[in-house]
Amino acid sequence: FIFEASYLHTREDFPVYLSVPNDEVIFLDVRIQSNYPEYDVFGGGIAWRYKKFALRAEGAYSPEREFATLPEDENGDSLSFVNARGRERPVIHSETSSYLTWAVEAEYNPSRRLYLLAGYSEYIINDRIDFLLISSNLTNVALFMVRATALRERLTFKVGEIYFLQDDEYIMAPRITYQASNQVELSVGANILEGNRGGNEDLGGVAPVSLFSKNDNAFVGFRYSY
């Protein structure tokens, strides 16, 4: 068994957007500002390993996080501001809430040639916030990975998938690598993104994959170590 506890004081790595007065013009106008608020994270976890099996569980809690919102009027349209030149600007606010995330993970490693991993996690905004922008009050994610080797572990096949249950979206990443020698490694792979809301005008919700659903790509690699 392994027990752990942690504390982190950090900044947001993804901006919190906010509409603020634009002081660079002589008429009344607003601009979108990107903020990176500081916050605290308290976490802990437990892990258990027995022969070919391993189980892990962990969680983290933030007393206060800030989230961008895109409020709507009584007709369901996003609030906006029209400046003196007739240009429309979105009105983006922010609200705060405590934030909880937890995850469980299981792995099975029957031999040096095969490794299986499955996990599940939830991200929860505890105080429900309406009209969230690029966030969700609840996000649940499943993770799967399979790795197999052949040719005395010189050839490795690996595929991983992150699946967003609420949005029915996923990211899949197949990989094949070949260790030609102690110095040379060859690889080929792809990143496949499938999002249901790609190209749509609705910015609400987390939409993590839809933002990049047209960015599928494939690659080949060469690595020389010395």
Q: pLDDT tens-digit profile of 80-93? A: 888 888 988 889 99
Q: What is the pLDDT of residue 70?
A: 87
Q: What is the pLDDT of residue 205?
A: 54
pLDDT tens digit string along 22-78? 888 888 999 999 999 999 999 999 999 999 999 999 999 999 999 999 888 888 888
How buried is 57 (Cβ within 10 angstroms: 0-12 exposed, 13-18 middle, 19+ buried)?
Answer: middle
Determine contact, residues 17/32, Cβ cutoff 8 Å.
yes
Q: How confident is the model at residue 148 (pLDDT cuts 50, 70, 90)?
A: very high
Residue 203 has pLDDT above 80, yes or no: no
Q: What is the pLDDT of residue 155?
A: 96
SS (H, E, C) the chain: CEEEEEEEEEECCCCEEEEEECCCCCCCCEEEEEECCEEEEEEEEEEEEECCEEEEEEEEEEEEEEEEECCECCCCCECEEECCCCCEEECCEEEEEEEEEEEEEEEEEEECCEEEEEEEEEEEECCCCCCEECCCCEEEEEEEEEEEEECCCCEEEEEEEEEECCCCEEEEEEEEEEECCCCEEEEEEEEEEECCCCCCCCCECCCCCHHHCCCCEEEEEEEECC
More confident residue, 206 or 74: 74
Q: How confident is the model at residue 14 (pLDDT cuts 50, 70, 90)?
A: confident
pTM over 0.85: no
Q: What is the pLDDT of residue 134?
A: 76
Residue 177 has pLDDT above 60, yes or no: yes
Residues in contact with 224: Cβ distance below 8 Å, sequence separation at least 6, in sequence order:
183, 184
* Residue burial 183-196, b: 16+ Cβ < 10 Å; e: rest: eebeeebeeebbbe
Q: What is the pLDDT of residue 112?
A: 87
pLDDT tens digit string along 75-121? 888 888 888 889 888 899 999 999 999 999 999 999 989 999 999 99
Q: What is the pLDDT of residue 79?
A: 86
Residue 206 has pLDDT above 60, yes or no: no
Residues in contact with 176: Cβ distance below 8 Å, sequence separation at least 6, in sequence order:
155, 156, 157, 158, 187, 188, 189
